[in-house]
Structure 1
Amino acid sequence: MSTQTVTITRLGAQGHGIAHGADGPIFVPFALPGETVAIARVGNQGTVMSTSVTAPERIAPLCRHFGPEGDACGGCSLQHLADAPYHAFKRQLVVDALKSKGLEPPVGELVTAAPRQRRRVVFSVRKTEKELLLGFNRGESHTIVSIVECPISSDGIIGRLNLIRTAAAALAQGSETFRLTVTETQSGLDLAAEGFKKIEDSQRRAVVETVLTLKGVARVSVNGETLVEPQKPQLDFGGVLVSPPPGGFTQATREAEEAMSALLAGHFAKSKRIIDLFAGSGTFALRLARHAKVHAVEGDEKAVATLDQAARRAQGLKPVTVERRDLFRRPMMPQELKIYDGIVFDPPRAGAEVQVKEMIRSGVKKIAAVSCNPLTLARDLAILVEAGYRITSVTPIDQFLWSSHVEAVALLEK
């Protein structure tokens, strides 16, 4: 380790300050462009020791757990940056990813996020001899910072932190670390624990007995198996109530979900028959079915069943059909796609390269891509553009406040 003084010139893709050293870039978390900082350096990583020049864009963070010292968690990387440059940084992540593939389509302003909107939070949990640790990992480590506040999370989650701790304590066994995904639903908190090798019968009973004494817990599951469900957890997808499967994927904020859905609704306003690829439990499919026939394709069996049940119960929808299919191993082929006049695809972070290469031979007039990874989105869009599609708009959406992650919706026409 060495100490030196550096000047930060820009923000990197992870939200860290970057200084230019004699032997290459130095990454300095919690430092901003224009700042001069003394750092302790290990390799190309620097830790701020003191700041002699402070950037005018620096603001006071809202959370006691943010920063390079003390009980800082690694959940946020940009609480110290003022709104305007923060929003510009998020939008630029999308612009730069597109440029890396030679694409310069119109990129809209960032759809911004506000504090206390996050309805889905993933905690790390571990029981020690002294206490139960429930919180987030410190940056670049497996050390759990046990939190007492979190300004990104909804009041329905943080306001019930003691309740969550009580349920987590019943789940904890030995010193094993596990993940606890907490989703705020209309009927209560949905707690999904993952990372257990095995759960004993005695522990099952303890969890059930504990949860039944708590008000506000809809369901507790372990590794996808429901242990107790006092209430059926329910989410509202555009007026259709959906009970997601245990541990099932849900958009992190309702506001981002609504913004993405509105963009899709506008793009497909005149479409009569739409296929939704990587459909999950129906986030977009059920909304689009208000005005068009929808075929929803998803690889997860429980998500497909959830979507099918919700569509069958809902009133006022056009026909919704579902298909379980691993689109990475068995993509929809051109002859299957050409009967539709609209395609939506919302793949995992890896993108949908194999599926897109089949999509371009279908001739479908309108396509919408939803992505949480600008780099794989840019790769997939470049394939579509090369095949004759035109990107009419790209909208960045800040679903993960104060992090380096950004969603985007790209709309295309043949």
Structure 2
Amino acid sequence: MPEFTIQRLGHQGDGIAQGPVFAPRTLPGEVVSGTLDGNQLADIRIVTPSSDRVQPPCRHYRSCGGCQLQHASDDFVARWKQDFARTALAAQGIDTEWRDMAISPPHSRRRATVAVRRTKKGALTGFHGRASGTITEIPDCHLLDPDLIAALPMTEALAALGASRKGEMAVTLTLSGGGLDVAVKGGKVLDGPLEMALAQFAEAQRLARLAWEGETIATRIPPTQVFGRAAVVPPPGAFLQATAEGEAALLAGVREIVGAAKRVADLFAGCGTFALPLAETAEVHAVEGEKAMTAALDKGWREAQGLKRVTSEARDLFRRPLMPDELSRFDAVVIDPPRAGAEAQVAELAQAAVPVIAHVSCNPVSFARDARTLVDAGYRLDWVQVVDQFRWSVHTELVAQFSRT
């Protein structure tokens, strides 16, 4: 077999040798051999291992696609994620202060979407294999909170009730103050008998809530999420930070950046992850594209005690970003866009001269692009902190402070 020396890791976590040749689950400096299929290396054998190579802690790692980097030491993964973000900024000609990375512990994921398929003998639940439609069972997963692991047999029983024989269901499991919050997509078309059966299932399984294709079937106990002093009931399947530890690290960074600001805009606010805690000291205007999420945020604020005024607005910030005259009345802005970033909104924000911006991002590349826009408009990037909520994956999040120079 031909041998290759791995030069670096790509953004998807694959080792890259000269060619380029892509070799999954390899590390820089390793000499490997395998069967070359196009530019992909298969049947890989490690000839010379890296000193950063470790035994994967999870027995499902080889067949499961949920993690990409369990074969690397924790120190290597931390350095690689920091370097990924640093390189993205360097490509835009930006340097800054880098704070210590915040890393969520194993068994801390409080929300996950599993694939569920009916089989001849029952049902199968797990994560897809790498670049595969095959489902790998994950009873000993090292990512998920133990309470989510305990819920996996329930998803198989749910599939027996509501999955078609040909399709596959995506079941989102979220831990909440009321218990397990379950949202299903890809199941059978909902009709009267199925709706009744699902309601009975939710009661028997003691689920906090069960939703089917966005429609709430049953709510036994409100599936609350706590944001500061407020208890919020998000709509089914709504975005939630993956771990409590990751959310706490991002919130701590945002609080520090906002500081003593009295008027704050929270853009892409979701259900209030940042807006509601910030309302302990500031008036907040929260903007989010989905009305159901702003309604949940507003209800949480109205029922909380001791918070300053929070207003909310359902608005598509990609098509209708807040304009400079709307932004200029705020002392600080928090922005937490999806992976594509917020190019249109950042362009307007750059012209608004808001004193300080707390930028949360789940994609260092789009963040760096938007950072360039802000720096060109006179902002200084004061510091960046990488937050690793998705342990052993290539997913990299961060929080950063921008201020007017």
The question of a shared fold, defined as TM-score above 0.5 by the shorter chain, is answered with yes
Quick check: 2:338–2:361 contact (8 Å CA) kept in 1? yes
The 1-side partners of 2:212 and 2:89 are apart by 39
Shift of 1:210: 1.8
Asked if residue 28 in structure 1 is aligned to residue 56 in structure 2, the reply is no
Q: How far, CA to CA, are the matches of 1:12 and 1:350 in structure 2?
A: 19
Could you tell me which residue of structure 2 aligns to residue 320 of structure 1? 310
Shift of 1:263: 0.8
Q: Could you report, residue by residue, the CA deviation over 1:167-214 in whole angstroms, capped at 9, with x for unpaired residues?
A: 343231222112111111121111111234722322222222222111
Calculate the aligned-residue CA RMSD, in Å: 1.4
Match of 2:17 in 1: 19
Q: TM-score, normalised by structure 2?
A: 0.97
- For the 8 Å contact 2:185–2:213, the answer to whether it is kept is yes
- Unaligned residue ranges in structure 1 (runs of 5+): none
Q: Does 1:399 align with 2:397?
A: no
Match of 1:55? 50
- How many residues matched? 404
Instruction: Supply the distance in 1 between the matched residues of 2:363 and 2:187 (Cα, whole angstroms).
Output: 29
Instruction: Answer yes or no: is the 8 Å Cα contact 1:115–1:153 preserved in 2.
Output: yes
2:160 is aligned to 169
Aligned with 1:274 (options 264, 267, 276) = 264
- Which residue is equivalent to 1:98? 89
Runs of 4+ in 1 over 6 A off after TM superposition: none
2:300 equivalent in structure 1: 310
Instruction: Give secondary structure in 2 for the equivalent of 1:96.
Output: helix
User: What TM-score comes out, normalization by structure 1 length?
Assistant: 0.95
Structure 2 counterpart SS, 1:95:
helix
| 2:2 counterpart (1, 4, 24) | 4
Question: Which residue identity does 1:82 align to in structure 2?
Answer: S
Partner of 1:246: 236
User: How far did residue 27 of structure 1 move?
Assistant: 0.9
Q: CA deviation at 1:303?
A: 0.1
- In percent, how many aligned pairs have the same letter? 43
Letter in 1 for 2:269: A
SS at match of 1:213: helix
1:239-262: CA deviation from partner (whole Å, max 9, x where unpaired): 321111111111111111111111
Unpaired runs of 5+ in structure 2? none
Greater CA deviation, 31-40 or 341-350? 31-40
Q: Which among 216, 227, 247 is matched to residue 217 of structure 2?
A: 227
Q: Encode CA deviations 1:94-119: one digit per residue, 9 max, x unaligned.
A: 11111111111112222112101100
TM-superposed deviation, 1:396: 0.5
| Aligned pairs for 1:323-338 within 5 A | 323-338=313-328
C-alpha distance in 1, partners of 2:312/2:188? 33
Q: Tell whether the 8 Å contact from 1:37 to 1:48 is kept in structure 2 after alignment.
A: no
CA drift of 1:357 comes to: 0.8
Any conservation in 1 of the 2:155–2:171 contact (CA below 8 Å)?
A: no
Aligned-partner Cα distance in 1 for 2:396–2:138: 24
- Cα shift at 1:327: 0.7
CA contact (8 A) 1:218 1:233 kept: yes
Do the aligned partners of 2:163 and 2:188 also contact (CA within 8 Å) in 1? no
The 1-side partners of 2:393 and 2:103 are apart by 13
